[in-house]
Structure 1
Amino acid sequence: MTIHMETSGTRNTGAATPIAAPRRVEITGTSVAARLFGWGSRLTVRPVIAAWATEPRLPWPACLVDAVAGALPGLAGTRNTSIRLPKCRAEWIAPTDRSTETDGRAVLYTHGGGFMAGGLNTHRRLAARIGRSCRADVLAVNYRMLPRYSIDEAIEDGLDGYRYLLGRGYAPQDIVIAGDSAGGFLAFSIALAARDRGLPLPGSIVGMSPLTDLDPTGKLAHPNVDRCAVIPAAALRRLVESSDRADARRGGSDRISPVDADLRGLPPVLIQVGSTEMIVADAELMAQRLAAAGVDCELQVWHNQLHVFHIVADAVPEAARAIEAIGTWYDQIVSHRSEHATVG
């Protein structure tokens, strides 16, 4: 594995001073396991998603994926407790080992799955790994999904999860909002909604292969449109159509994608993405706009990794290292904040 830092901006903790560019870190080297999962995904996952995009109105059992994943064991050394938020379920993931000190930290986690698949079961181990890496408790939100509910309702569920953490006494600066793929869209949207509702901002945001722009134009024009091992181009258009229909049933929506929002004042952000996935277009654009808004942002591009490669951390070494890198980055943010407070 080789790490190469291409560009570097001055570290900033959220002031609206423009940063020339986000810090872009290229992590090269691809294991055999990563290549095998990439090929396997291209032969299995991508065709299934393509079939859905061809006939989206068929009764696809999206919930079956999460139900089957329920057979997977939780991560060793963690305890999972069901939580009820106002309009959805959530899960509390905490370490069982008393020697594991969480330092009063918490992760609010929103899973991926195109806003219409996945859930607590599919992402339980990933969320727990992130909590362990950050030495934090985790609240994973089982937000309401398309096509029955709108993305706005998913954001509201995430905001309820954030309020839950604040109500439990977690300091906002000790809360990380994290999400993968569509969950990354929600992570940014929840932080922006918290700011706009007068709630204190979280301490940091982490996006793993985050969708940040519902407009598919940039992604469809990117060279990775045919290289992505997970997402076919047609799925992006169908996602927008499904979201538009859900919004129409609620009388419309004034929601905008995170890339188009006023990003000034957001806390430090880490974005991790695979170099060959289509979502790299969103990751790069979001990182650029965060930097332009004066937000401290680090963009890590992992060579030849598939969309949300983190979820196969049990088998792919790069995935495990990426999750460890989240904890390392977060520790640096906390350390810098402490040093700044001491100097102040």
Structure 2
Amino acid sequence: MTDRPKDKAALAQRIRDTEMDGAPDQMRAAFSHLFAPLPDVLTETIAGVPCGMFGEGPPILWLHGGGLVLGSPETHALAAGYVAQATGRQVIVPDYPKAPEHKWPAQPDAAQAVLEALGCVPVVGDSVGGQLALIMWMRRPDLVQRLVLMSPNTDRTGLSETRKRDADLMNDHEGDESFARMALGDYDPTDPEVSPATADLTGLPPTMILACGAEILLDDSLIFARRAALAGAEVDLRVWPGLWHLFPLWPDLIPEGRAALDAAAHYITEVSPSSPARA
């Protein structure tokens, strides 16, 4: 069994030492290694999609990241469990179909099926899961109460300048583009489902965006927040200096990750003065 890193520095070293290349199954194993040892997760099938279930109470839908190729309820268990405990609600993490075995739009279609089975709920998404969360709002605005987006993918049209840098331990532009081609094929970057920042954001529900200063997707958060605000949306944007992509997924090792999840939990459970009361 792989021992858990003892602190943030040891985790950073594990990330540096882990090669994220090879066949999809090899990359998935490497990604899982970053979170090892993985816990056993209670799963249920919702609308034909296996889902990790964390906590009890009214549901929260969490769409996990991993470039549409990697990730699972197990890799996101610590973060999802933390939010479940902090909110007193059940967090549901669909294990949606992965590329390249399953081509787009299998991923948002599966997420939509789960959302429609749950009804109107808060939706959380990290990385490409943030993109999926925004697609859920675009497809079914009546079913998305509010959004929490953690370092979301929102723009593939070339506006981002931070995608060009190499300061991010967890992500790089070439890898992000490789996953996109693997999942989306010959995609149109101006398609709102590919680049949600290009969508008409009128009517976007209250939205929290959490990011960090050193990640390549920082501009994806900043560009989207600006466009959402100009469209009249309520936006709460928080950026932690330094760190790396997906930092909230290790709340036991990264204090800033705990702070981000605490902020997310509060945002999910509070009732904004500018929005109606929600169940």
Find 1:44's aligned residue among 3, 13, 17. Answer: 17
Does the alignment pair 1:209 with 2:156? no
Find 1:194's aligned residue among 111, 115, 140. Answer: 140
Closer/same/farther in 2, CA of residues 62 and 35 from structure 1, 3 Å limit: closer
Does the alignment pair 1:336 with 2:273? yes
Q: Which runs of 5+ in 2 are unaligned?
A: 1-6
Letter in 2 for 1:89: P
Closer/same/farther in 2, CA of residues 223 and 124 from structure 1, 3 Å limit: closer
1:178 is matched with 124
Contact 2:163 2:173 in 1 (8 A): no
Give the aligned CA root-mean-square deviation in angstroms.
2.8
State which structure, 1 or 2, has the greater radius of gyration over its C-alpha atoms: 1
Partner Cα distance (1:325, 1:316) in 2: 14
More helix by share: 1
Partner Cα distance (1:274, 1:260) in 2: 22
Residue 236 of structure 1: how far off its partner (Å):
2.6
Partner Cα distance (1:152, 1:93) in 2: 26
Give runs of aligned pairs for residues 16-165 of structure 1, distance below 5 A. 33-34=7-8, 37-38=11-12, 40-41=14-15, 43-45=16-18, 48-49=19-20, 52=21, 58=23, 60-65=25-30, 71-73=37-39, 81-95=42-56, 102=57, 105-165=58-118
Residue 88 of structure 1: how far off its partner (Å):
2.6
Find 1:305's aligned residue among 238, 243, 253. Answer: 243
1:29 is matched with none
Does the alignment pair 1:218 with 2:179? no
> Number of residue pairs matched?
269
Give runs of aligned pairs for residues 259-278 of structure 1, distance below 5 A. 259-278=197-216
Residue 222 of structure 1: how far off its partner (Å):
2.4
Partner Cα distance (1:214, 1:135) in 2: 36
Closer/same/farther in 2, CA of residues 182 and 241 from structure 1, 3 Å limit: same
Residue 81 of structure 1: how far off its partner (Å):
3.6
Closer/same/farther in 2, CA of residues 254 and 262 from structure 1, 3 Å limit: closer
Determine helix, strand or coil for the equivalent of 2:185: helix
Find 2:171's aligned residue among 213, 227, 231. Answer: 231
Contact 1:34 1:318 in 2 (8 A): no
Find 1:245's aligned residue among 167, 185, 205. Answer: 185
Identity over aligned pairs, percent:
23
Partner Cα distance (2:187, 2:174) in 1: 20
Partner Cα distance (1:67, 1:227) in 2: 22
Partner Cα distance (1:192, 1:306) in 2: 28
Closer/same/farther in 2, CA of residues 81 and 36 from structure 1, 3 Å limit: closer
1:77 is matched with none
1:314 is matched with 252
Q: Which runs of 5+ in 1 are unaligned?
A: 1-32, 75-79, 96-101, 167-171
Contact 2:67 2:180 in 1 (8 A): no
Contact 1:106 1:137 in 2 (8 A): yes
TM-score, length of structure 1 as denominator length: 0.70
Partner Cα distance (1:239, 1:142) in 2: 17
1:169 is matched with none
Letter in 1 for 2:149: G
2:3 is matched with none
Does the alignment pair 1:326 with 2:264? yes
Determine helix, strand or coil for the equivalent of 1:121: coil
Contact 2:213 2:240 in 1 (8 A): yes
